[in-house]
Chains A and B, each alone.
Chain A
Amino acid sequence: MSTPYAKLPGWADYGLIPFINLVVAFLVAGLVVLLVGESPIQAAGLLLKGAFGSAAGIGYTLYYATSFIFTGLAVAVAFHCGLFNIGGEGQAYVGGLGVALVCLTFDGIFPWWINFPLAILGAAAIGGIWAMIPGWLQAKRGSHIVITTIMFNFIAASLMVYLLVGALKPANSMAPQTRTFAEGAHLPKLDWLLEMFGASIRSTPLNLSFVLALVMAVAVWALIWRTRLGYEIRTRGFSPKAARYAGINEARIVVVTMMISGALAGMMALNPVMGDQHRLQLDFVTGAGFVGIAVALMGRSHPAGIVPAAVLFGMLYQGGAEISFVMPDISRDMIVIIQGLVILFAGALEHMFRPAVQTIIASLRPSAMRLGPAKGEGV
């Protein structure tokens, strides 16, 4: 007999429990700050002020969030198929190659609004192909996707170094990066968006790819819950046996899902490469691929959760930089610890508080709970 835990109402499942996890993560992080000898309250204030206290802060927060939305969606799509794509980092990195190739070729020829869709295609194609290989190995050879995608991160890193010190580097330059793109490959900034809220600011890196990230969030929602392909992905994710029974071609679904996942990760490159730095640099991904895993976990693999989770991590990145600037005892590494705690409580220990919350809600509002098996209603 299965344990008939009743289902939680949606607001508790998607709102309350992530919130509790987050509060606990910050409490523990506060203890760490206390140990270092700084005031946790002051640090929290700095974090919030740094992230949201100024229009520039908001711009940076959303700029980081943009990258995390792409990688978070990438991880989430694979999750729905029961695949753990740890290779977002590498897929985003090679996605940058797709962006750079388009920009380097056409930046002097086309305006940005033609180069943008081309760059999207370039990033998605190379990211998708990069993820397709582990997908194919999983589907046909049974090689575990976690292992292969991790390996492909290293391969991607080496490949990019090779290209950036070689073919992509302009002659007579010492820096391992491409030349700066011309105007035709600069994405428009979204400063006007921030100015609409009354701020007049210096430039932030927030750019049009933020809008693309939101569009992709909607597209992923539609893909997963509204298309035949999404239905097959979810069936495979929940039960490979049921997928086989339903006549779903498992190998095809695994490969296609990984390609979509890799394409989304690859699009992350648009944000820094085409939106901000206007050149392809070494290590431009800076961990966004891995943060995407935490974002997807925290957002429960749903775009409506992933976007706020990405903003939260954007806040940690931006506000964290602010803390380490004002409080010298708190280094960048401390920020990483805080981020790690959030991942720990939001992801790994996700179910820690669930039984208690269930008991409390069940005793307060029995009617709010969907009853378990509806027994004894006759048949």
Chain B
Amino acid sequence: MASVAIGLRGINKSFGAVRANRDINLEIPQGTIHGIIGENGAGKSTLMSILYGFYQADSGEIFVDGHKASIDSPNDAIAAGIGMVHQHFMLVENFTVLENVVLGAEGSPLLNAGLARARSELQRLEEEYGLEVDPDAVVENLAVGLQQRVEILKALFRGADTLILDEPTGVLTPAEADHLFRILRKLQEEGKTIVLITHKLREIMAVTDNVSVMRQGEMVATRKTAETTVEELAELMVGRRVLLRVKKGEAKPAEFRLSVKGLTVKDSRGVPMVKDVSFDVRGGEIVGIAGVAGNGQSELIEAIAGTRSAETGEVLLAGKPVDVTGSADPAELRQRGLAHVPEDRHNVGLVLPFEENENSILGYHAQAKYLNGPFLNIEAIRDDARQKIEKYDIRPADCRLKTANFSGGNQQKIVLAREMEQDPDVLIVGQPTRGVDVGAIEFIHKRLIDMRDQGKAVLLVSVELDEIRSLSDRILVMFDGRIVGERGPDATEGELGLLMAGIEAKEAAE
């Protein structure tokens, strides 16, 4: 094996009393693709932020190409040949690709000289690595996959030999992800070193040479990808055996619980995001809506749940109409048996500075059992919260703890416990396992199947295809605001992937 591109020795980092990284040792051989996996909060992002100079380690050493490096800022990292592609792109949306690439590396006080040099350099990079992007396109007009390419170009333009990618596929269609992996391979062939941070085991298996697993701030194992399995990696991540796919029996669809007819919804800028969408959900089935983020799924469930008003269309809840174009009120819908686990639990589903028990009544706080006249019945609320904590195994089991101090998986369980324990007829679930660790995913999936088996209608929206496929009894694929296809649970990933990319089934068959 070639020389070591990046070496980390004894890295420690604490935030207050939380030890985010402890005694991390890691060697990344030059010219390889190295995966780093771990649950949320395992310390992956902290470690990479140390390597990229956002944070300084409390102790430990960093070696680049065998030499000890002191990286105190992203500028030091760039100088050492380390580039980073962030999960949330750091692009100026109304700049062109070229302007974004030179940003911070203009090279002269007057722009023109720098831009001309950058243009020829970009051309070279594009040819060398197959990274085609129109340098004069405005970034906000580019598809997400292309924006990511601009990020990669930015790093390469600054002379990066080692490229860190933080959860790069979260916003991509399967096809775009495949394309990204081809680019990464190409970069590897040209001698670049790639560090890929992800929590998706499949990606690790598909593209990496080596993989390191982090758990609770420690580096627990490094394996050659060819010599390990998905099951072993999952077990290393969680620390115990996990079921990656929940078992479920046959669905027994009953009466229509939720009907959506010709629904059209605009976003806050007035752009139609949901276009003439119709579907039904019956009791006793899980209907999954697959799609790449931003294709109207969010607006769709917000409109059904009454937190966003629709332009036109009808929604029937248990056969009775909901005033979705006018004054549909989430509080009223809850009374009519509709529960909603929102996609964004941090800003919508929870009030993070609240105590856990205060969040466990959010939306249901007007119910008589939680009140004494105008006053809150604190004892009843806390008792109620304690019961949910026990039933849903929320940890730590402290209903007075601030919600922000719970892990992602436990926060999600707080929301699920609140919504499911109201015994709704219809449950709308958005991204139930986003940012949730593997162990909690198993639990959440089981609960959703339980709801179905109790005869509830479940509408599931997720950008994780695996999740859609393992839970849904019927799969609807959304693209550009429309439902472009319906498939059974046995649909292949490739088939769904094409639909998600907006390629018609007919074309796909050809």
B residues 334-375 with Cβ under 8 Å of A? 334, 340, 342, 344, 347-354, 358, 362-363, 365-366, 371, 374-375
The verdict on A245 contacting B15 (CB below 8 Å), with A228-B376, A239-B347 known, is: no
* B374 cross-chain contacts in A, Cβ below 8 A: 227-229
Cα distance A6–B222 in the bound complex, in angstroms: 30
Q: Are B16 and A358 in contact (CB under 8 A)?
A: yes
B137 contacts A by Cβ under 8 Å: no
A373 touches B395 (CB 8 A): no
How far, in angstroms, from A373 to B41 measured CA to CA in the complex?
8
Q: Using Cβ atoms and an 8 Å threshold, which residues of chain B touch A244?
A: 307, 330
Q: Is B509 an interface residue, CB under 8 A from the partner?
A: no
Closest beta carbon of chain A to B324's beta carbon, Å? 15
Question: Are the C-beta atoms of B240 and A245 separated by less than 8 Å?
Answer: no
B363 touches A245 (CB 8 A): yes
Instruction: Determine whether the beta carbon of A245 is less than 8 Å from that of B340.
Output: yes
A370 B350 Cβ-Cβ under 8 A: no
Q: A6-B15, A228-B366, A247-B330 are contacts. A379–B440 as well, Cβ < 8 Å?
A: yes
In the assembly, what is the distance between CA of A244 and CA of B329, in Å?
9
Question: A376 to B215, Cβ gap below 8 A?
Answer: yes
> Is there an interface contact between A7 and B405, defined as CB atoms closer than 8 Å?
yes
Instruction: Evaluate contact between B332 and A6: CB separation under 8 angstroms.
Output: no
> Residue-by-residue, is B371-393 near A (CB-CB < 8 Å gives 1, otherwise 0)?
10011101000000000000001
A374 adjacent to B407 (CB under 8 Å): yes
Scan residues 232-289 of chain A and give those whose CB is less than 8 A from a CB of chain B: 232, 234-235, 238-239, 241-242, 244-248
Please, how many angstroms separate the alpha-carbon atoms of A366 and B19 in the complex?
A: 12
Evaluate whether A247 and B46 lie within 8 angstroms (CB atoms) in the complex, with A239-B351, A375-B216 already known.
Answer: no
Closest chain B CB from A245 CB (angstroms)? 5
Q: Are B362 and A1 touching (Cβ within 8 A)?
A: no
Whether the Cβ atoms of A242 and B405 lie closer than 8 Å is: no
Given A6-B17, A231-B358, A247-B330, A374 and B351 contact (CB-CB distance below 8 Å): no
Q: Smallest distance from the beta carbon of B380 to chain A beta carbons, Å?
A: 13
Closest chain B CB from A353 CB (angstroms): 15
Chain B residue, CB-CB nearest to A377: B395
Q: Which residues of B contact A212 (CB under 8 A)?
A: none
Would you give the shortest CB distance from A150 to chain B, in whole angstroms? Answer: 28
Question: A238, B354: Cβ atoms under 8 Å?
Answer: yes
The interface residues of chain A lying within 8 Å CB-to-CB of B15 are 3-6, 372
**Residues of chain B from 1 to 51 with CB closer than 8 A to chain A in the complex:** 14-18, 20, 39-42, 45-46
A81 shortest CB reach to chain B, Å: 13
Q: Determine the distance from Cα of A229 to Cα of B366 in the docked complex, in whole angstroms.
A: 10
Give the total number of A-B pairs whose CB atoms are below 8 A apart. 138
- CB-based nearest A residue for B43: A1
Expressed in whole angstroms, the Cα–Cα distance for A241 and B350 within the complex equals: 10
Q: Which residues in chain A, 4-29, are within 8 Å of chain B measured between CB atoms?
A: 4-7
The verdict on B331 contacting chain A, using a C-beta distance below 8 Å, is yes
Tell me if B402 counts as interface (CB < 8 A to partner A): yes
Residues of A within 8 A of B306 (CB): 247
Contact of B18 among A226, A234, A242, A372 (CB under 8 A): A372
Known interface pairs A6-B15, A244-B307, A247-B329. Does A227 touch B376 (Cβ–Cβ under 8 Å)? yes
User: B344 CB to closest chain A CB, in angstroms?
Assistant: 7
Q: Specify which chain B residues have a CB less than 8 angstroms from the CB of A369 in the assembled complex.
A: 16-17
Query: A371 at the A/B interface (Cβ < 8 Å)?
Result: yes
Interchain CA distance A4-B410 in the complex, whole Å: 16
Residues on A with C-beta less than 8 A from B66 are: none
Cβ contact within 8 Å between B371 and A247: no
Q: Which residues of A351-366 have CB atoms within 8 Å of chain B's CB atoms?
A: 358-359, 362, 366
A378 interfacial by beta-carbon distance below 8 Å: yes
Q: Known contacts being A228-B365, A238-B352, is A5 close to B376, with CB within 8 Å?
A: no
Q: CB-CB < 8 A to A3: which residues of B?
A: 15
Structural contact, A375 and B330, CB atoms closer than 8 A: no
Specify which chain B residues have a CB less than 8 angstroms from the CB of A6 in the assembled complex.
15-18
Contacts of B347 in A (CB 8 A): 239, 241-242
Residues of B within 8 A of A371 (CB): 17-18, 405
Find chain A residues with CB under 8 A from B410 CB.
374, 379
Q: Say whether B262 faces chain A, with CB atoms less than 8 Å apart.
A: no
Q: How far is the CB of A53 from chain B (nearest CB, A)?
A: 42
Kindly provide the distance from the CB of B374 to the nearest chain A CB, expressed in whole angstroms. 5
Q: How far is the CA of A248 from the CA of B307 in the complex (A)?
A: 11
A367 (CB) vs chain B CBs: closest residue: B17
In this complex, the member of A1, A231, A379 whose beta carbon has the largest number of chain B beta carbons within 10 angstroms is: A379
Contact B437 A379 (CB under 8 A): yes
Within 8 Å of chain A (Cβ to Cβ): is B256? no
Query: Which residues from chain A contact B402 at a C-beta distance below 8 Å?
Result: 7, 370
- Confirm or deny: B107 has a beta carbon within 8 angstroms of a beta carbon on chain A: no
**B191 at the A interface (CB under 8 A):** no
Q: Give the residue of B331, B352, B406, B437 whose beta carbon is less than 8 angstroms from that of A247.
A: B331
B405 engages A374 (CB within 8 Å):
yes
Q: Check B440 against A234 for contact (C-beta < 8 Å).
A: no
* Residue contacts A-B, CB under 8 angstroms, 30 given: A1-B46, A6-B17, A222-B375, A226-B378, A230-B376, A231-B358, A231-B365, A234-B354, A238-B351, A239-B347, A242-B348, A242-B349, A242-B351, A245-B362, A370-B401, A371-B17, A371-B18, A371-B405, A373-B41, A373-B405, A373-B406, A373-B408, A374-B396, A374-B406, A375-B41, A376-B215, A377-B396, A379-B410, A379-B439, A379-B440
Give chain B's interface residues, CB within 8 Å of chain A: 14-18, 20, 39-42, 45-46, 215-216, 239-240, 305-307, 329-334, 340, 342, 344, 347-354, 358, 362-363, 365-366, 371, 374-376, 378, 393, 395-396, 401-402, 405-410, 437, 439-440, 443
**Shortest 8 CB-CB contacts between residues of A and residues of B:** A247-B331, A6-B16, A247-B330, A379-B439, A1-B45, A246-B363, A373-B407, A376-B216
Given A231-B365, A242-B349, A245-B363, 19 more pairs with CB closer than 8 A: A1-B41, A4-B20, A6-B18, A227-B375, A228-B374, A231-B358, A235-B354, A244-B330, A245-B305, A246-B330, A246-B363, A247-B329, A247-B332, A366-B17, A369-B16, A373-B407, A375-B216, A376-B239, A378-B239
